[in-house]
Amino acid sequence: MNLHWIVLFTFIISIHAQTGSFPDCKSGPLSTFPICDQSLPSRQRAADLVSRMTTAEKITQLVTTAAAIPRLGLPKFEWWSEALHGVAYSPGVSFGGDLPAASSFPTPINLGASFNMSLVHRIASVISTEARAFNNEGRAGLVFFTPNINIFRDPRWGRGQETPGEDPFLTSQYVYALINGLQRGDDERYLKIAADCKHYAAYDLENWNGTDRFHFDARVSDLDLIETYMPPFETCIRDAKVASIMCSYNAVNGVPSCANKFILETIARESYRLDGFVVSDCGAVSTIMDSHHYTSTVEDTVAVALHAGTDLNCGDFYLKHTQEALDKKTIVEADIDQAVQRTFNVLIRLGYFDPPEQQPYRKLSHFDVDTVETRQLSLEAAHQSIVLLKNSNKALPLDINQLQNKRIALIGPTANATELMQGNYFGKAPFLLDPVTAFRGLAIGHSINVSFAYGCKIADGDQSGFSEAIELAKSSDVVIFFGGIDQSIESEGHDRTSIALPDIQLQLIQQLEKTVRSPLHIVIMSGSGLDLSYVRDSSQCASLIWMGYAGQSGGLALANVMFGDYNPGGRLPITMYPASYVDTVSMFDMQMRPSPTNPGRTYKFYTGQAVFEFGYGLSYTTFQYTWYNDTAESRMSVKSLMKNNFDEKKVQVHLYRVNVTNTGSVAGDDAVLAYVVPPQQSLNGQTPPLKKLFGFERVHLNVGETKQVFFPFNMESLLTVAHDGAKWLEPGSHKIIIGKQHMHTIHLYGKPARWS
Nearest residue to 423 via CA among 531, 548, 570? 548
Question: Do 572 and 649 fall within a single domain?
Answer: no
Tell me how crowded residue 331 is: count the other CB atoms within 10 A of its CB: 22
Question: Do 485 and 558 fall within a single domain?
Answer: yes
Q: Determine the Cα–Cα distance for residues 577 and 346; give it in Å rounded to an integer.
A: 43
- CA angle, residues 329, 334, 335, in degrees to nearest 5: 70
495 within domain boundaries? yes
Q: How far is CA 253 from CA 175, 218, 497, in A?
A: 26, 6, 25
Residue by residue, DSSP assigns 47-64 as HHHHHTS-HHHHHHTSBS
Residue 682 confidence (pLDDT):
77
Helices (H) and strands (E) in the chain, counts: 21, 27
601 within domain boundaries? yes
pLDDT tens by residue, 607-620: 999 999 999 999 99
Sign of CA dihedral 220, 492, 210, 164: negative
396 within domain boundaries? yes
281 is catalytic: yes
Q: Determine the Cα–Cα distance for residues 60 and 319; give it in Å rounded to an integer.
A: 6
Asked if the peptide bond before residue 194 counts as cis, ω within 30 degrees of 0, the response is no
Helix (H) or strand (E) holding 504: helix 503-513
**Which DSSP state fits 155?**
T
pLDDT > 50? residue 699: yes
Residue 2 confidence (pLDDT):
55
Question: Do 585 and 676 fall within a single domain?
Answer: no
Residue 266: strand, helix, or coil: helix
- CA R_g for the chain: 26
Residue 91: strand, helix, or coil: coil
Q: What average pLDDT does the segment 660-668 reach?
A: 98
Question: Do 597 and 634 fall within a single domain?
Answer: no
pLDDT > 50? residue 187: yes
Residue 408: strand, helix, or coil: strand
pLDDT > 90? residue 12: no
Residue 21 confidence (pLDDT):
86
414 within domain boundaries? yes
pLDDT > 90? residue 14: no
Residues 6+ apart with CB under 8 A from 442: 400, 559, 560, 563, 565
Q: Determine the Cα–Cα distance for residues 126 and 178; give it in Å rounded to an integer.
A: 11
Q: How far is CA 123 from CA 111, 214, 697, 700, in A?
A: 10, 32, 17, 19
Instruction: For residue 380, give the amino acid letter.
Output: E
Q: What average pLDDT does the segment 261-279 reach?
A: 98
Q: Which residues of 195-339 form beta strands (DSSP E)?
A: 196-200, 207-208, 211-212, 217-218, 244-247, 251-252, 255-256, 277-280
Question: Do 443 and 589 fall within a single domain?
Answer: yes
Helix (H) or strand (E) holding 327: helix 317-327
Instruction: For residue 10, give the amino acid letter.
Output: T
Q: In 241-332, which residue ranges form alpha helices assigned H by DSSP?
A: 261, 284-290, 298-308, 317-327
Q: Determine the Cα–Cα distance for residues 322 and 330; give it in Å rounded to an integer.
A: 10
527 within domain boundaries? yes
* Cβ 753 vs Cβ 729: under 8 Å: yes
Q: Determine the Cα–Cα distance for residues 697 and 608; give it in Å rounded to an integer.
A: 28
Residue 18 confidence (pLDDT):
37
Residue 1 confidence (pLDDT):
56
Nearest residue to 115 via CA among 743, 615, 567, 544? 615
pLDDT band of 142, cuts 50, 70, 90: very high
Of the residues 48, 154, 224, 281, only one is catalytic, namely 281
Burial classification of residue 407, based on how many CB atoms lie within 10 Å of its CB (0-12 exposed, 13-18 middle, 19 or more buried): middle
* Cβ 540 vs Cβ 473: under 8 Å: no
Instruction: For residue 648, give the amino acid letter.
Output: E
Domain that holds residue 640: 623-754
* Cβ 575 vs Cβ 581: under 8 Å: no
Residue 756 confidence (pLDDT):
77
* Cβ 316 vs Cβ 285: under 8 Å: no
* Cβ 530 vs Cβ 499: under 8 Å: yes
Q: Determine the Cα–Cα distance for residues 310 and 331; give it in Å rounded to an integer.
A: 13
Q: Determine the Cα–Cα distance for residues 659 and 558; give it in Å rounded to an integer.
A: 30
Q: Determine the Cα–Cα distance for residues 274 and 109; give it in Å rounded to an integer.
A: 26
Question: Do 570 and 692 fall within a single domain?
Answer: no
728: domain CATH number? 2.60.40.10
Q: Where among 605, 636, 661 does a domain terminate? A: 605
* Cβ 661 vs Cβ 749: under 8 Å: no
Burial classification of residue 329, based on how many CB atoms lie within 10 Å of its CB (0-12 exposed, 13-18 middle, 19 or more buried): exposed
555: domain CATH number? 3.40.50.1700
Question: Do 636 and 574 fall within a single domain?
Answer: no
* Cβ 453 vs Cβ 468: under 8 Å: yes
**Which DSSP state fits 600?**
-
Question: Do 415 and 387 fall within a single domain?
Answer: yes
Q: Where among 576, 605, 634 does a domain terminate? A: 605
Residue 532 confidence (pLDDT):
98
Q: Which residues of 603-740 form beta strands (DSSP E)?
A: 623-627, 633-637, 652-662, 668-677, 692-701, 706-714, 720-721, 727-729, 732-738
pLDDT > 50? residue 11: no
pLDDT tens by residue, 437-491: 999 999 998 999 999 999 999 999 999 999 999 999 999 999 999 999 999 999 9
Q: Where among 541, 572, 605 does a domain terminate? A: 605
pLDDT > 80? residue 684: no
Sign of CA dihedral 58, 60, 61, 63: positive
* Cβ 114 vs Cβ 617: under 8 Å: no
Question: Do 627 and 695 fall within a single domain?
Answer: yes
* Cβ 508 vs Cβ 481: under 8 Å: yes
Q: How far is CA 533 from CA 284, 496, 523, 577, 622, in A?
A: 40, 19, 14, 9, 24
Burial 518-529 (b: 16+ CB within 10 A, else e): ebbbbbbbbbbb
pLDDT > 90? residue 632: no
Q: Determine the Cα–Cα distance for residues 18 and 140; give it in Å rounded to an integer.
A: 9
Number of domains the chain contains: 2
Question: Average pLDDT of the chain?
Answer: 95
Residue 15 confidence (pLDDT):
37
Q: Determine the Cα–Cα distance for residues 67 and 375; give it in Å rounded to an integer.
A: 37
Residue 103 confidence (pLDDT):
98
Residue 4 confidence (pLDDT):
44
Question: Do 598 and 684 fall within a single domain?
Answer: no
pLDDT tens by residue, 51-110: 999 999 999 999 999 999 999 999 999 999 999 999 999 999 999 999 999 999 999 999
382 within domain boundaries? yes
Residues 6+ apart with CB under 8 A from 8: none
Nearest residue to 94 via CA among 133, 139, 130? 139
Question: Do 427 and 532 fall within a single domain?
Answer: yes
Q: Determine the Cα–Cα distance for residues 182 and 202; give it in Å rounded to an integer.
A: 24
Q: How far is CA 293 from CA 215, 287, 330, 340, 456, in A?
A: 9, 8, 18, 27, 45
Nearest residue to 92 via CA among 145, 128, 129? 145
Question: Do 565 and 659 fall within a single domain?
Answer: no
Helix (H) or strand (E) holding 521: strand 520-525
pLDDT tens by residue, 326-384: 999 999 999 999 999 999 999 999 999 999 999 999 999 999 999 999 999 999 999 99
633 within domain boundaries? yes
168 within domain boundaries? no
Would you say how long the chain is, in residues? 756
Residue 7 confidence (pLDDT):
42
Instruction: For residue 22, give the amino acid letter.
Output: F
